[in-house]
Amino acid sequence: MDIDTGSCGRELGIKDEVIKKACSISIRAHQAPAEKPFLVDKIRGSPSQVVIAFSGAWTSDAWSTRDGTAKAFGETEVNLNSFPSLRSIGNDITAKVNEASMNQFLQIMEKSALRSEMDKATRDSKPIIFAGHSSGGPIAIYATIWLLEEYKRLKKTLTHGPFCLTFGSPLTTDRIFCHAVRREEWSDRFVHFVMIHDIVPRILLAPLSSTKEFLEQSLPYLISPSAHHKADSIDKSKLTALFDNVMRNASCVASHAACILMGSTNMLLDTMTKFVQLSPYRPCGQYVFCTGTGRLVVVKNPDAVFQLLFYSLQLVSESESQQKAVASLPAHLAYEDGLDKNLDMRNAIHLENLCELPLSSDNTMDIATKTIVDTLNDLNLSARARLCLRAAGESEKQKEDNQKKIERKMGMIRNALDDLEGYRTMCETRGMGYFDAFKVQKHEDDFKANVKRLELAGIWDEIIEMLKRDELPDKYEAEKSWVKLGTEFRQLVEPLDVANYYRHLKNEDTGPYMTKGRPRRYKYTQRWREHAEQLPRGSCGESCFWADVEELNLAVTSNQPRNEQMALNVANKLKEWHAKGEVKKDAFLKETALVTWWKTLPDNHGAKLCIKDLIES
């Protein structure tokens, strides 16, 4: 095993020269005049690559809040029109990012030549590497996501897809952002370099109000060109105060995350959380920590990265406080030199097997373990920090085990679905749609189908519950086999749920099925499919049109005015779904609820004409 002498590039799939180049361009980007928000450069090779580096800005108008409504950490939801993937699918939560940096990106997209640069590179099949140092980092991230979304929309392969390299970038994306990126399997395309003593990557873990002065006045002045030597001019006591503040907030949010990772059962955590403001930002993508000893540590587990961001900057002794605080600024400016040196040492290590990390140094160890122990020492990690990393590894493993557990139930689901399919065919031979047969519950088969329905509901509800509690791997909701099974299940079984709902008149207690009674197992699986096939939201309602039919029928019996729009909609959609084979012909058999309703329509009604052929054939 040669884990100790590997080059960083090989661990990450990027060449060392590319990293160096990207880094130096990113730092040069700060010198560019304001009207040129990014630099473009080429790296020769096969294939040759294009580097686009952003400078970003810590300017005050970008960070300050426009009105009183802004959040303490300046976060905002992303626009799903531009970034449709950036959400959790089933739970339906939109990702959040730092608003100021996102606005900068949108401005650049709108006003600069970035689009054309991207198009050019894509045309020549040259992979683009988006890069950014400091405030340029978040912009590079958004640009990468933007292009990845474009690739996805056009269904292009990612062989020449974009990469993103950031250096000392602050955290600006939340938990859902990370979840979505991992689900789309884009995570390995993001590599973030962090000097362990650099304060800036952690800075947004503190509320903006407390760091604003530093971010707006001192930092831009420092990272601007020819100012590197001015680092000394910063007021040391102010810097120490800032350092303490950021670290205290980092400790707060890292402890909170650790409690959750460890599966806290003490509800004091929930109660306390209501009193505390926690930064929403979490790391996303691979991280490379550069230790003071010239080691590069690659970490992929986002929970572990988050804990490391806090623990690696902890003080060793109390007296060190000021010293470390003062050192935390030059560290932010030293990426170019530092990386050059570290990469040349070819001393990279991928921190894996987190569950089995040694908690302390021991004399009796083989070389591989010793390397890990040294690495952990270099990262400045105490036993309690290592326990957090173990918990992060364990949580990841637990999620995978959970997926295996439910995958073993796939067979059971399959069998039950086959049985219900049989039930449907049998109803059809009886000349009835299975929706109506089930609603009447006359025969023993109807009852048996009901039992099958409930068995399936049990299994699926368990899966949904796991998703809600974030107990499944990020990629689960995009797994093709599950999306397919979920769709099959939904199309076949949901009509039975609708039938059951209206049979027991639950609509009278709780309201219409679609708004009040629809179980989550169908909402989630519908969203899975819509996401996988990039269909508009709510377009896959082929499994629940019966609910609309029921409501339409109820309107007829209670002499309410007909909802024309709904009627037309249902008819049009039905035609479409039938053409695609998603709604089977048994829906149009003689005595179904659908046909009953259809017959109440006047002859010249649009909806009547629309599905006339289907019903009469």
243 to 272, contacts with another protein by CB under 8 A? 244, 247-249, 251-252, 255-256, 258-259, 261-272
Selected from 276, 538, 580, 604, the binder of another protein by CB under 8 A is 276
User: In the range 453-492, which residues lie near another protein by CB under 8 A?
Assistant: 454-455, 457-458, 461-462, 465
Question: Toward another protein, which CB reaches closer, 28 or 503?
Answer: 503
Please give the Cα distance from 25 to 18 (Å, whole number).
Answer: 10
Total residues interacting with another protein, rule: CB under 8 A: 72
CA 544, chain centre distance (Å):
28
Order across the sheet with 128-133: list the strands: 38-43, 49-54, 128-133, 163-167, 190-195, 286-290, 296-299, 348-350
From 188-196, 298-306, 506-514, 595-603, span contacting another protein (CB under 8 A): 506-514
CB of 74 to another protein, least distance (A): 17
Distance CA 231, CA 219 (A): 10
CA distance 551 to 74: 44
Alpha helices in 262-301, H assignment, sequence order: 268-273
User: What is the 8-class DSSP label of residue 281?
Assistant: B
Strand, coil or helix: what is 94?
strand
Among 77, 352, 394, 470, binds another protein (CB under 8 A): 394
Of residues 507-566, those binding another protein (CB under 8 A): 507-509, 554, 557-558
Confirm whether 328 is a catalytic residue: no
Least Å distance between CB 292 and another protein? 14
Q: Determine which residue in the list 22, 290, 391, 417 makes contact with another protein, applying CB under 8 A.
A: 391
What residues contact residue 288 under an 8 Å CB cut-off, 6+ apart? Answer: 8, 12, 191, 192, 193, 194, 296, 297, 298, 299, 348
Taking the complex as a whole, the smallest distance from the CB of residue 73 to another protein amounts, in Å, to 14
Token duo for residue 413: 């689901």
Which one-letter amino acid corresponds to residue 358? P
Which of 79/209 has CB closer to another protein? 209
Residue with Cβ nearer another protein (146 or 489): 489
**Residue 354 near residue 392, CB atoms below 8 Å:** yes
Would you give the binding string for another protein spanning residues 351-370, x where CB under 8 A is met?
A: ----xx-xxxxx--------
> Which of 188/455 has CB closer to another protein?
455
Residue nearer to another protein on the CB measure, 318 or 603: 318
Q: For another protein, which stretch binds (CB under 8 A), given 137-145, 180-188, 240-248, 423-431? A: 240-248
Which residues ranging from 304 to 343 are in contact with another protein (CB under 8 A)?
311, 314-318, 321
Residue 60 and residue 166 in contact, taking contact as beta carbons nearer than 8 Å: no
Q: Which is nearer to another protein, 103 or 510 (CB)?
A: 510
The verdict on 234 binding another protein (CB under 8 A) reads: no
**Candidates 161-169, 497-505, 561-569, 597-605; binding stretch for another protein (CB under 8 A):** 497-505
Q: DSSP code of 562?
A: P
CA–CA dist 220, 56 (Å, integer): 10
Pick from 120, 126, 152, 503 the residue near another protein by CB under 8 A.
503
Q: Which pair of structure tokens corresponds to residue 375?
A: 């690495």
Nearer Cβ to another protein (48/360): 360
> Stretches 106-114, 197-205, 429-437, 448-456: which one binds another protein (CB under 8 A)?
448-456
Listing DSSP states for 178-226 in one string gives HHHHHHTT-GGGEEEEEETT-SGGGGGGS-HHHHHHIIIIIHHHHHSTT
CA pair distance 371, 5, nearest whole angstrom: 10
Q: How many CA atoms lie within 13 A of 31 on its CB side?
A: 9
Question: Within positions 193 to 212, which residues make up the interface with another protein, using CB under 8 A?
Answer: none
Q: Exactly one of 26, 88, 134, 218 is catalytic; which is it?
A: 134
Q: How far is the CB of 247 from another protein (least distance, A)?
A: 4
Contacting residues for 373 by C-beta, under 8 A, at least 6 apart: 358, 361, 362, 365
Look at residues 28, 56, 30, 53 and name the one whose alpha carbon lies nearest to residue 42: 53
Q: Which of 179, 332, 350, 531 is catalytic?
A: 332
> Closer to another protein at the Cβ: 244 or 336?
244
Which of 451, 535, 579, 609 is close enough to bind another protein by CB under 8 A?
A: 451
Catalytic residue among 16, 174, 198, 303: 198
Of 43-51, 377-385, 483-491, 607-615, which part binds another protein (CB under 8 A)?
377-385
552 vs 582: CA distance, rounded Å: 21
Nearer of residues 311 and 513 to another protein, judged by Cβ: 311
- 408, 505, 536, 561: residue in contact with another protein (rule CB under 8 A): 505
Binding-site string for another protein from residue 127 to residue 166, where x marks contact by CB under 8 A and - marks none: ----------------------------------------
DSSP per-residue codes, 519-544: -HHHHHHHHHHHHHTTPPTT---TTS
Q: What is the CA radius of gyration of the chain?
A: 29
Q: Please, what is the minimum distance in Å from the beta carbon of residue 297 to another protein?
A: 17
Q: Which residue number, 67 or 603, has a Cβ lying nearer to another protein?
A: 67
Q: How far is the CB of 364 from another protein (least distance, A)?
A: 9
481 catalytic per annotation: no
Provide the token pair at 60: 């005050």
DSSP of 148-189, one letter per residue?
A: HHHHHHTT--STT--EEEEESPPP-BBHHHHHHHHHTT-GGG
Closer Cβ to another protein, 93 or 387, answer by number: 387
Among the listed residues 241, 326, 387, 467, the single contact to another protein using CB under 8 A:
387
188 belongs to the catalytic site: no
User: Which residues have a catalytic role annotated?
Assistant: 134, 198, 332
